[in-house]
Amino acid sequence: MTDLKPKIFIGSSTNGYSIAEKVKNNFLAIADCVLWQDPDVWEPNQSTFDNLMRMATYFDYGIFVATADDLTLTGDKLVIEARDNVILEMSLFLGAMGRHKSFLLVESGIKLPSDFNGIFMPRFDPKNDSSIEAACHAYHNIIEEHNILGHLSLYPTTALAFGYYKNFVDGLVESMQNPETLEDNGIVYSEFRFKIVMPADLQGMIRQKAALFYKRHGFVENAIKTRYRRHPAWFHLDQTKAPVAIIYDMPSTLTGIDDAIEMSLRKGFFGRTKLQGIIEQRELNNFRRVLQIQINRNPLAKATVEIIDEY
């Protein structure tokens, strides 16, 4: 099955990196995590600020680890504080993504800026792995809930998924309840199921990728009458399964997403970076998730439509 896990960026100071690695391990069950020192995360010849602002649009969540790094004189008191850049980076993500998607894990005993007063942020003991796990658990639950309940982001594929469902899937499901029969080699098919095929990646024209998929599996082209028009479709006709036929469709509406991503990355070279792969997977996951939410809301669609992976 396509990986439906959200993408999390994890930031920390250099001194706090070992804690960030432990934080990553605590979220691997529900998310794909990228640490700030991972290869190909930072774009060369760009400022840290520009890199962070762009990453805030690429990832689903940001988690930042505030550890005891600096001893600061505040008034007449010496206080232990997190590194300034960690607080700044978390704040950048907070402004770009919102308070439900940007989180701070705080080492016990350190002082935070007064703007954070009154906001609950889990504290942890860096020498106690159970304490780190407990702090992560608070955000773990929030992230899981957001994905289960379908808190949608304004990714391009959100609008594409709504349009694909409303303009095609919904009408097809309605038509499948009282369909025109389909005859092939003397066999009549009068019941239909629908499988939406998610492409393995977004490289190239999805229409061409779909044509190769249909040909590879020996599907036959025909048409089915939807609410507004007859729609060309590809069928898997198995005489042993008659009168049931399977309709397949790979959403060609996804064509061009890879070009949009390359434009946003302002790429001036061929090849694919790790970050580009992360963004493309996020868009595919989001399209699938939004589409599944729409299907689940319609009992007829839920009973007859299945989203599958390209195979």
Three-class DSSP category at 239: helix
Domains along the chain? 7-147 (3.40.50), 156-309 (3.40.50)
Q: What is the rounded (10 degree) CA torsion for 27, 31, 36, 42?
A: 180
In which region does residue 286 sit, left (phi positive, over 0), alpha (psi from -120 to 50) or beta (all else)? alpha
Q: What is the pLDDT of residue 181?
A: 85
Lowest mean pLDDT among 83-92, 121-130, 210-219: 83-92
Candidates 25, 46, 49, 45; CA nearest to 35 is: 25
Q: What is the pLDDT of residue 223?
A: 80
Q: What is the pLDDT of residue 216?
A: 94
Q: For residue 106, list its beta bridge partners.
A: 66, 123
Task: Report the DSSP pairing between strands 70-74 and 220-225.
Answer: unpaired
Peptide linkage before 243 cis (omega within 30 of 0): yes
Candidates 83, 92, 95; CA nearest to 20 is: 83
| Residue 150 token pair | 């379908």
Predicted confidence (pLDDT) per residue in 147-175, tens digit = 766 555 556 888 899 999 998 999 899 88
Predicted confidence (pLDDT) per residue in 12-61, tens digit = 999 999 999 999 999 999 888 999 988 877 777 778 788 887 777 778 89
Q: Comparing 72 with 226, which gets the higher pLDDT?
A: 72
| Residue 65 token pair | 């680890």
Position 78 confidence tier, pLDDT thresholds 50, 70, 90: confident
Distance, CA of 34 to CA of 187 (rounded, Å): 53
Predicted confidence (pLDDT) per residue in 168-183, tens digit = 999 899 888 888 888 8
Q: Is the dihedral of CA 71, 98, 41, 130 positive or negative?
A: positive
